[in-house]
A and B are shown apart, each in its own frame.
Chain A
């Protein structure tokens, strides 16, 4: 048994080479982005570490198409910085902080407070490049917003926690930021506030969370987006059932940090199809072995 190595490639081709070597030598790999979610309640027992942290950067930002192509190690903060000026955003905005990587967010399919309205990772990834456990470089999906060409490898790999393939690059859907974007803390007069039909997000606050946000008596955090008339009407709906207090949208970043990371006691469903899926893409189980609690 040779000593464990940490490999941090800077290109997708290097990832292919490294996985091929690992496959040929049957050495297992711990796949790491920013290293924030290293397990899901189960220890990974790997020979070596494959870090995507240096595979970082924006490959192409196409604001008029509302798409961006990034390397897996790119952080959510990098994307925010690149798209802010054109009043766009990538609604991944997962639970956790913005130093998390796109690769990890997609691999774990981590959602956030805006997933219901703006899309889940499984819907926002238009295409990915990923290296499977047999060192095949899979170039799945594309960079257009609607695509049914071939079997959907993107859906299979996103949310697989790196156990089918190592995501190296992603094409993501962007959205225009709302014309008017308001974050409101709501103190209902009794029980629940009357929520408008289509808020960007609404979140029930614990007293502790409310205190952290500096609005100790508030019980709901609501984000409204749309044109001025629509937002005003939604605000009026909220105000009809309680007191509303405008907050800086940064409140959502605080909330995302405090509520992260996802539950560690994850129970993965290992039915026949799931086992076969794993075996077809990583037959030697060299990618993140043990992470999903699978029996060997």
Chain B
């Protein structure tokens, strides 16, 4: 790597190439502490030109690399195992904001919440709001097709991306869009949905140099409700009834007793009733007219489903406090144990109540504490298990429990990840979810963008599933 390090230093300057193990420690894991591997070196380009030059140097050298934003991912996706780590956090220019067209063009290292702050004066915001939004980057959001509580109404990252400039693993720079005739500049031009294929490709298809995203007008009015229940089942049932009634809440989040306890014991205490079996955090927004009717309808459906009480946030401060507890729930679990595993399965909404009971039973069976805090409106579960990774016995039980939970979710007609990505963490479940032909087709799709498979090697699709790859040797690692 020494010759390559020298080449990279020449491009970005010696202070932006890290090669000593001590300085690489920070990149050993992402926000899922169970996976720990070390990159060979880290390179941090500071401009678009440097990024392109670095990508070309890596291509010329045939070296695999892993792109990384803020490292807030929850799937082990941004880990570089003995290869080059390409850190994009210095590429944080907001290139253009167009308040009339309601778009912004940004570099990949721009922090999600920073973009929203930058456009707030225009009464606009960037809608996808992962709970890590104060730290995570837009580039990372694109790689993961990130979601968040408000995606229930506003859609996930892909629904907000208009076009992207991408540096392919070969070093070639391309423009990607949705290939949508009516959305592109010339009305009669159309094409394959290359952007749709790229968003959510977990860094395996190339690196974003800049991206143009849609901005969303701030709603005229927002109302937040908290319903508390004596059973998780009744909270899950209330969720299904609200959605089926034709109300489109901006968000609909469920937290169970273990999560409430963790949050209320932390600095993020939100005033959730500690004796409730579950709380449902619901939000409606939009034009002011008719919003109160939706609130009354949600309140009635919660009460009919067995809610003990429904509280409506009366001012922005109370609203913020209710949301802070939800958004910082993962962090609050840090009080319970040093490590945390988080799963991200999605199940059909009607299966939620049964699944939550099964997950609880699996936890009891393996003597583990499972905390559920999740996007109920989408059926997107987040069972969290706090544990001590240095305790071999406990780690083994966590592993078994997670496998059982995943199998149960797949059997219920669900999927293994709704927004966190496959990365390294969910790789073992891909063959349970997809047929060999389908996994092979995914390898074909990857080969379109990364024929030498140097971009985030070993992630998303198990290497053994790729028939074409058996025929030709892998890239040098």
With A153-B445, A227-B294 given, is the CB distance from A122 to B180 under 8 Å?
Answer: yes
Interface centre among B172, B294, B375 (most CB of A within 10 A): B294
- Stretch from B48-56, B132-140, B185-193, B324-332 contacting the other chain: B185-193
Q: Are A66 and B416 in contact (CB under 8 A)?
A: no
Q: How far is the CB of A252 from chain B (nearest CB, A)?
A: 17
Q: Are A228 and B293 in contact (CB under 8 A)?
A: yes
* Residue B439, interface by CB 8 Å: yes
Contact indicator per residue, chain B 420-435, by CB within 8 Å of chain A (1) or not (0): 1110001000100111
Complex-state Cα separation, A142 to B287, whole angstroms:
33
With A132-B441, A148-B419, A153-B445 given, is the CB distance from A266 to B289 under 8 Å?
Answer: no
Q: Are B348 and A262 in contact (CB under 8 A)?
A: no
* Residue A198, interface by CB 8 Å: yes
Inside 8 A of A143's CB, which chain B residues have their CB?
Answer: 348, 413
Q: Are A159 and B418 in contact (CB under 8 A)?
A: no
Q: Are A67 and B155 in contact (CB under 8 A)?
A: no
Number of A-B contacts (CB under 8 A): 221
Q: How far is the CB of B282 from chain A (nearest CB, A)?
A: 16
* Residue B461, interface by CB 8 Å: yes
Instruction: Pick the contact of B460: A64, A137, A150, A269 (CB < 8 A).
Output: A150
Q: Which residue of B has the minimal Cβ distance to A275? A: B448
Q: Which residue of A has the minimal Cβ distance to B294? A: A227
The count of chain A contact residues (Cβ–Cβ below 8 Å) is 68
Q: Are B350 and A136 in contact (CB under 8 A)?
A: no
With A62-B350, A87-B246, A280-B444 given, is the CB distance from A152 to B192 under 8 Å?
Answer: no
Instruction: Pick the contact of A147: B190, B349, B415 (CB < 8 A).
Output: B415
Inside 8 A of B178's CB, which chain A residues have their CB?
Answer: 122
Instruction: Pick the contact of B147: A120, A123, A146 (CB < 8 A).
Output: A146
Q: Are A273 and B194 in contact (CB under 8 A)?
A: yes
Q: Which residue of B has the minimal Cβ distance to A156? A: B197
* Residue B13, interface by CB 8 Å: no
- Stretch from B18-26, B237-245, B334-342 contacting the other chain: B237-245
Q: Which residue of B has the minimal Cβ distance to A225? A: B246
Q: Are B181 and A266 in contact (CB under 8 A)?
A: yes
Complex-state Cα separation, A179 to B290, whole angstroms:
12
Contact indicator per residue, chain B 113-156, by CB within 8 Å of chain A (1) or not (0): 00000000000000000000000000000001101000100011
* Residue B169, interface by CB 8 Å: no
Interface centre among B187, B194, B199 (most CB of A within 10 A): B194
* Residue B64, interface by CB 8 Å: no
Complex-state Cα separation, A158 to B192, whole angstroms:
8
Inside 8 A of B189's CB, which chain A residues have their CB?
Answer: 267-269
* Residue A166, interface by CB 8 Å: no
Q: Are B204 and A151 in contact (CB under 8 A)?
A: yes
* Residue A3, interface by CB 8 Å: no
* Residue B472, interface by CB 8 Å: no
With A146-B379, A156-B192, A263-B188 given, is the CB distance from A137 to B449 under 8 Å?
Answer: no
Q: Are A274 and B348 in contact (CB under 8 A)?
A: no
Interface centre among B188, B414, B426 (most CB of A within 10 A): B188
Q: Are B290 and A229 in contact (CB under 8 A)?
A: yes
Inside 8 A of A232's CB, which chain B residues have their CB?
Answer: 289
Chain B contacts to A: CB under 8 angstroms? 144-145, 147, 151, 155-156, 158-159, 172, 174, 176, 178-182, 186-194, 196-197, 199-201, 204, 220, 240, 243-246, 286-287, 289-294, 297, 346-350, 375, 378-380, 413-422, 426, 430, 433-435, 437-442, 444-449, 451, 460-461
Can you name 17 A-B pairs with beta carbons within 8 Å?
A: A122-B196, A123-B159, A142-B415, A145-B379, A146-B147, A149-B416, A150-B433, A151-B442, A151-B446, A152-B145, A176-B246, A198-B287, A232-B289, A265-B188, A266-B181, A273-B449, A276-B447
Q: List 11 additional contacts besides A269-B191, A274-B191; criterion CB under 8 Å.
A: A122-B180, A144-B414, A149-B434, A150-B439, A160-B193, A197-B287, A230-B293, A267-B188, A268-B189, A273-B192, A273-B448
Shortest 10 CB-CB distances between A and B: which pairs?
A230-B290, A155-B196, A233-B289, A176-B246, A269-B191, A229-B290, A146-B418, A136-B437, A280-B444, A144-B346
